Chains A and B, each alone.
Chain A
Amino acid sequence: MTLIALLAAAPVAVIVWSLATPSGQIWSYLWATRLPAMLSSTLALLVLVVAGTLVLGGGLAWLVSGYDFPGRKTLSWMLVLPLAMPGYILGFVFMSTFGFTGPIQGALRTLFGPDVAVPEIRSLGGAAIVFSLCLYPYVYLLARAAMREQATASYEVARSLGYSHLRAAWRVILPMARPSLVAGLTLVTLETLTDFATVLYFNVQTVSVGVYRVWKGMFDRDAASELASLVLVFALGLLLLERLLRGRARYEQQGGGSRQLPSKRLYGLRAWTATATCVAVLTLAFFAPVVQLGAWAVEQMVRGRDPVDSGFLRYVSNSAVLALTAAVLVVVVAVAIANGRRFAATRYVRSVSQLATAGYALPGPVIAIGVLLVVAALDRGLAAAGIAVPGLLVTGSLAGVIYAYVVRFLALGVNGIDASLQKVPVELTLTARSLGATPSQVMRRIHLPLTRTGVAVALLLVGIDALKELPMVLLLRPFGFDTLPVWVWQLASESRWELAALPSLTIIAASLVPVALLTRSLRGSQADPALLPATGKRALEVAGI
């Protein structure tokens, strides 16, 4: 277990180390070239996305919690759907639709002549819109949960003390939902920071893009790790800021339960406006892109192209093998860690397991570069030890990608399995031991049968997150090894959108599975945190809920 923890923590440690030992030469070079622009565009993007997701996520959460209008029930869970839409897919659909060659601008030019003034889509603003549409569900989910589970009783007291619906919302519900809003936004910024595939469509040079460019363009390991450490600083800064904003305030509410907030009924035009707002957001963020992708896929088939050619099958099987391997490994390690925590509640075991899950708060590119450095050192070590290695055994192989996946998704697995193990009373474990079962027997005969569902859900969630993952594969994949997301991204970067349609739809379909699980648990009484997608779970962690 100590070994696992060390392996899991090594990539993070390497980046922290490079942060602690800045190389003046590299930094002065970077500073002289692109660094200032990278920093400012990263910050600008973060600010815009925070504003966008706050308005969309917070506003929609308040709309569906505080008001009643036609279709509210259905819409309130459908608004989570964009979680299944990766940014690198929405991004290219958006570009193709609103870009210079797209139908919208084309129509405008036909109407108003070729010199019509259209805001440039291929810009920071365009990227911010795409991110806002993809990521608002995090804010929406957390804010809605806060409004639903915490604020109801306080709201009723406020009304009885003479506050109107809106004033009660402003003075009671908003302050109580604030920690959840901040947690959701922290998550959104981490996701934005991590991405470099989507922003590249929009030609926005963030720090993460820098990491990718420096590594893929120059293979400059040192510069890449220095930049990755900069991303790490951003991420840690965000988490710290979240803590500071939360301050000493604690908003947990005792009792109350999950009573619904009494909502105000809207009539006539206002009711339909509310419905239309939700539908419009959903259409932009989910349905329109899916329809467009579907149309492209059908078009390809009509043109006689076999959509399921050998390439597609190869990418699907690559993705599946990678996702399955990562998921199984993560779950095996997670089961070991979660059970270890249960059997030996010593401080040592606790800190070891915390160390093992340190990767959870870190952006993918940081982990990827860290894995690269660790694995390269391993390669050199093997070579030095005189072990004949055909080429670079680890660096150029799938092992590196899988390693990075395990580091990144381990926390997700451990949390999921821990959550279901929490439901097995400690007394059951103790009784089993007093009846003569060793820890490993208790794990096999008691814990595994009782946590079967939790293990299956963890397997599914990690698998699908691994299937969707793009940035880490882009950085670490062996030459010629393409997954579905990589293929989509490459086709999209070359503006061959029609061809990217089918793999995109495949990814979206797979991503819908965890979203469906989530909405089902949301429609029940309370969200089961184990069912939240990787990042959603992280949000709860961050929020300390």
Chain B
Amino acid sequence: MNRSQDKRGGLAVRELPDEPTALRAVEVRGVSKLFGSKAAVDDVSLTLHRGEFLTLVGPSGCGKSTLLRMIAGLIEPDGGEIVLGGRTVSGPGRWVAPEDRAVGLVFQENTLFPHLTVAGNIAFGLRSMSKPSAAARVADVLNLVELPGYGDRYPHELSGGERQRVALARAIAPEPTVLLLDEPFANLDPNLRSQVRAATVEILRKAGASALFVTHDQQEAMSVGDRVAVMNGGRLEQIGTPKSVFHLPQSHFVASSLGEAYFLPASYAGNGELTTEAGRCACPEDLPKEEVEIMVRPHDVTFVADPQGESEVTAVEFQGAFLLYEVKLPSGRRIRCLLPHTLEVQPGTRVHVRLEHGHLPVVLQRPAD
């Protein structure tokens, strides 16, 4: 392949290309990557706007990390184009080395250079700056991550959360076009995790960074991202705001990957309502003619104890403020419903189940058996 080299023009003189690409930090167009004969990433296109946080979520092996590494230039795509800040870095006949791409990388492992101080780590990417201005920049970003005066410490003298903040400072310091974060919180223990996550988001917002997060944690994906992209088997299944993807999934996979979801067969009952074995619900206007089913999440279902009830509580899981009940429906299908702790019902109790969607339910075409 004939590759042309492209030199980064220094951070100060970053060119400002025409609208609308100027508003796009990352553009991925039809990118694919084969490992052997298997497509790890299959014809994926997505855009990350300037200042936006996008989370890539999906099970392990779905291709999300591969996509991130292709954007960083650590893996070469087999097809498609990648544009960073208006500059094509990967495409037919074009390849820009990772060190010339102006991307920041943050990994889950502690990747601070152990032989360098905190200041040395942060200054690592500031080679093109003069010594005094690099030192000033180091002090700036240390302030930004709220670790002023930590410059002389070594990585082993820091706590897990502090290390992650230094890693973040190091990635931000050269003012990259985009920050790529690969499961950045996966190695932190659960208590620390939400704390570091909130701090990270705050720091990145303050820095005005554009960021692409890769995660397998649905909660994290929805709480961090302005938009969420769900990947499955190398393909992009759905992309949108957390709310739209959570409430209006376009497939079983997307529905299940963002939280517990059940699918109940439904039929039109007249009066603008659908009926299911768990009760009735409102029917969207454009109801397809085919056999349909509706998505039910645990918080969409409620019940009342009723000796003549058609369903039966089979198990209870205590979760503090809420109780998670497993209920056997007349067909034998089991669903779970999340109810406040004010209601307490023992397993074996007959109940009457109702649907309480706070909105129009998601109606999907029933898959062929």
A-side interface residues toward B, CB under 8 Å?
425, 427-428, 430-438, 445-446, 449-450
Query: B60-116: which residues lie under 8 A (CB-CB) from chain A?
Result: 69, 72-74, 97-105, 107, 109, 111, 113-115
Cβ A430 vs Cβ B125 within 8 A: no
Task: Answer whether residue B206 sits at the interface, using C-beta atoms and an 8 A cutoff.
Answer: no
Most-contacted residue by chain A among B99, B127, B167 (CB, 10 A): B99
Residue-wise interface mask of B (161-173) relative to A, using a CB-CB cutoff of 8 A (1 in contact, 0 not): 0000001001100
Contact A425 B109 (CB under 8 A): yes
> Are B105 and A431 in contact (CB-based, < 8 A)?
yes
B124 lies within 8 A of chain A by Cβ: yes
Whether B205 is near chain A, meaning CB under 8 Å from some CB there, is no
Q: A437-B99, A437-B124 are in contact. Are A432 and B113 (CB under 8 A)?
A: yes
Query: CA of A434 to CA of B104 in the docked complex: distance in angstroms?
Result: 6
User: What is the CA–CA distance of A427 and B128 in the complex, to the nearest angstrom?
Assistant: 23
Cβ of A435 and Cβ of B124 under 8 Å apart? Answer: yes
A449 CA to B128 CA in the complex, in Å? 22
Instruction: With a 10 A CB-CB cut-off, give which of A433, A438, A449 has the most chain B CB atoms.
Output: A433
CB-contact partner of B99 in A427, A433, A450, under 8 A: A433
Residues of A close to B252: CB separation below 8 A: none
User: Do A449 and B74 touch across chains, with their CB atoms under 8 A apart?
Assistant: no
B174 interfacial by beta-carbon distance below 8 Å: yes
Residue B334 is within 8 A (CB to CB) of chain A in the complex: no
B366 is an interface residue with CB less than 8 A from chain A: no
Minimum Cβ distance to chain A for residue B65 (Å): 11
The 23 listed contacts between A and B (C-beta, < 8 Å) are A425-B111, A427-B107, A428-B111, A430-B98, A430-B107, A431-B107, A433-B74, A434-B73, A434-B74, A434-B101, A434-B176, A435-B124, A435-B125, A435-B171, A436-B102, A436-B125, A436-B128, A437-B127, A438-B97, A438-B99, A449-B115, A450-B113, A450-B114
Contact A450 B111 (CB under 8 A): no
- Determine the chain B residues whose CB is within 8 A of the CB of A437 once the complex forms: 99, 124-125, 127
B8 interface residue, CB < 8 Å from A? Answer: yes
Kindly provide the distance from the CB of B193 to the nearest chain A CB, expressed in whole angstroms: 19
How many angstroms between the C-alpha atoms of A449 and B114 in the bound complex? Answer: 10
A436 touches B109 (CB 8 A): no
Q: Inside 8 A of A425's CB, which chain B residues have their CB?
A: 109, 111
Q: Which residues of A contact B180 (CB under 8 A)?
A: 434
A436: chain B residues at CB < 8 Å are 8, 99-100, 102, 125, 127-128, 174
Contact yes or no, B72 A434, CB < 8 A: yes
CA distance A307 to B79 in the complex (A): 73
When the two chains form their complex, are residues B113 and A446 in contact, meaning their CB atoms are under 8 A apart?
Answer: yes
B127 contacts across to A, CB distance below 8 A: 436-437
- Contact status B125-A427, CB under 8 Å: no
Contact: B109 with A427, CB < 8 Å? yes
Given contacts A436-B8, A436-B100, A437-B124, contact A430 B113 (CB under 8 A): no
Query: What CA separation (Å) do A110 and B217 show in the bound complex?
Result: 88
A431 and B98 contacting across the interface, CB-CB below 8 Å: no
Smallest beta-carbon distance A468→chain B, Å: 34
Q: How large is the interface on B (under 10, 10 to 19, 20 to 34, 35 or more residues)?
A: 20 to 34
A449 CA to B167 CA in the complex, in Å?
19
B128 cross-chain contacts in A, Cβ below 8 A: 436
Contacts of A435 in B (CB 8 A): 99, 104, 124-125, 170-171, 174
Q: Across the two chains, which residue of chain B brings its CB closest to A434? A: B105
Q: How far is the CA of A437 from the CA of B103 in the complex (A)?
A: 12
> Which B residues lie within 8 Å of A450 (CB)?
113-115
Number of A-B contacts (CB under 8 A): 66
Q: Which residue of B lies closest to A433 (CB)?
A: B98
Which residues from A are CB-within-8-Å of B171?
Answer: 431, 434-435
Which residues from B are CB-within-8-Å of A446? 113
User: In the complex, given contacts A436-B99, A446-B113, what are 6 additional A-B residue pairs having Cβ atoms less than 8 angstroms apart?
Assistant: A428-B111, A430-B74, A430-B105, A433-B99, A434-B105, A449-B115
Q: How far is the CB of A54 from chain B (nearest CB, A)?
A: 43
Distance, CA A430 to CA B101, complexed state (A): 13
Cα A432 to Cα B109 in complex, Å, equals: 14
Select from chain B the residue with minimum beta-carbon distance to A449: B115
- Chain B residues at the A interface, C-beta cutoff of 8 Å: 8, 69, 72-74, 97-105, 107, 109, 111, 113-115, 124-125, 127-128, 167, 170-171, 174, 176, 180
B113 pairs with A434, CB closer than 8 A:
no
Closest 3 CB pairs of A and B: A435-B125, A434-B105, A427-B107
Chain A residues near B114: list those with CB within 8 A: 450
Chain A residue at minimum C-beta to C-beta distance from B124: A435
Which residues does chain B contribute within 8 Å of A428, judged by CB atoms? Answer: 111, 113
Do A431 and B8 touch across chains, with their CB atoms under 8 A apart?
Answer: no
Q: How far apart sit A105 and B73, CA to CA, in the bound complex (Å)? A: 75
Among residues of B, the one whose C-beta sits closest to the C-beta of A346 is B76
The interface residues of chain A lying within 8 Å CB-to-CB of B98 are 430, 433-434
Cα separation A436 to B127 with both chains bound (whole Å): 8
Are the C-beta atoms of B111 and A427 separated by less than 8 Å?
yes
Bound Cα distance A449, B171 (Å): 21
B103-A434 in contact (CB<8A): yes
List residues of chain A with CB within 8 A of the CB of B72: 430, 434
* C-alpha spacing A141/B97, complex, angstroms: 46
Nearest-Cβ distance from residue B139 to partner chain A, whole angstroms: 18
Complex CA–CA separation, A430 to B74 (angstroms) = 7
Q: Which residue of chain A has the shortest Cβ distance to B106 in the bound complex?
A: A431
Residues in chain A near residue B170, CB distance under 8 A: 431, 435
A434 to chain B: which residues have CB within 8 Å?
A: 72-74, 98-99, 101, 103-105, 171, 176, 180
Residue of B nearest to A450 (CB): B115
Residues of A within 8 A of B125 (CB): 435-437
Chain B residues near A430 (CB, 8 Å)? 69, 72, 74, 98, 105, 107
B115 nearest CB neighbor, chain A only: A449
Q: How far is the CA of A432 from the CA of B115 in the complex (A)?
A: 13
Q: Which residue of A lies closest to B103 (CB)?
A: A434
Q: CA A353 – CA B171 in complex, angstroms?
A: 33
CA distance A446 to B113 in the complex (A): 7
Q: Which residue of A is nearest B75, CB measured?
A: A345
Q: Please name all residues of chain A whose beta carbon is closer than 8 Å to the beta carbon of B8 when the two chains form the complex.
A: 436
Q: Which residue of A lies closest to B104 (CB)?
A: A434
How many Å lie between the Cα of A428 and that of B163 in the bound state? Answer: 14
Q: Which residues of A contact B73 (CB under 8 A)?
A: 433-434
Q: Chain A residues with Cβ under 8 A from B100's Cβ?
A: 436
Q: A431 to B155: give the CA distance in the assembly, Å.
A: 15
Q: Given the complex, which residues of B lie within 8 Å of A432, measured CB to CB? A: 113, 124
**In the complex the two chains form, what is the Cα distance from A428 to B114 in whole Å?**
10
Bound together, the chains give a CA A72 to CA B104 distance in angstroms of 56
Roughly how many angstroms separate A428 CA and B155 CA in the complex, as a whole number? Answer: 13
Q: Name A452's closest neighbour in chain B (CB-CB).
A: B115
Q: Closest approach, in angstroms, between the C-beta of B21 and any C-beta of chain A? A: 22
C-alpha spacing A192/B114, complex, angstroms: 45
Q: How far is the CA of A431 from the CA of B174 in the complex (A)?
A: 13
User: Does B115 lie within 8 Å of A431, measured CB to CB?
Assistant: no
Q: Report the minimum CB–CB distance from B66 to chain A (whole Å).
A: 13
Measured between beta carbons, the chain B residues less than 8 angstroms from A427 are 105, 107, 109, 111
- A446–B74 Cα gap in the complex (Å)? 18
Complex alpha-carbon distance, A352 and B73, angstroms:
23
For the complex, what is the distance from the CA of A425 to the CA of B97, rounded to whole Å?
Answer: 20
Q: In the assembled complex, which residues on chain B have CB atoms less than 8 Å from the CB atom of A431? A: 105, 107, 111, 167, 170-171
Nearest CB of B to A450, in Å: 6
Q: How far is the CA of A430 from the CA of B99 in the complex (A)?
A: 9
Closest CB of chain A to B129's CB: distance in Å?
Answer: 11
- A contact residues around B105 at 8 Å (CB): 427, 430-431, 434
B104 cross-chain contacts in A, Cβ below 8 A: 434-435
Query: Which one of A435, A437, A438 has the greatest number of beta carbons of chain B within 10 Å?
Result: A435
How close is B107's CB to chain A, nearest CB, in angstroms? 4
**Min CB distance, B31 to chain A, in Å?**
18
A438 to B125, CA, bound (A): 11
Complex formed: what's the CA distance from A220 to B174 in Å? Answer: 66
A211→B113 CA distance, assembly (Å): 52
Q: Nearest Cβ in chain A — how far from B137, in angstroms?
A: 13
- Report Cα–Cα, A213/B174, bound state, in Å: 67
A427 CA to B74 CA in the complex, in Å? 11
B235 to chain A minimum Cβ distance, whole angstroms, is 25
A363 to B124, CA, bound (A): 46
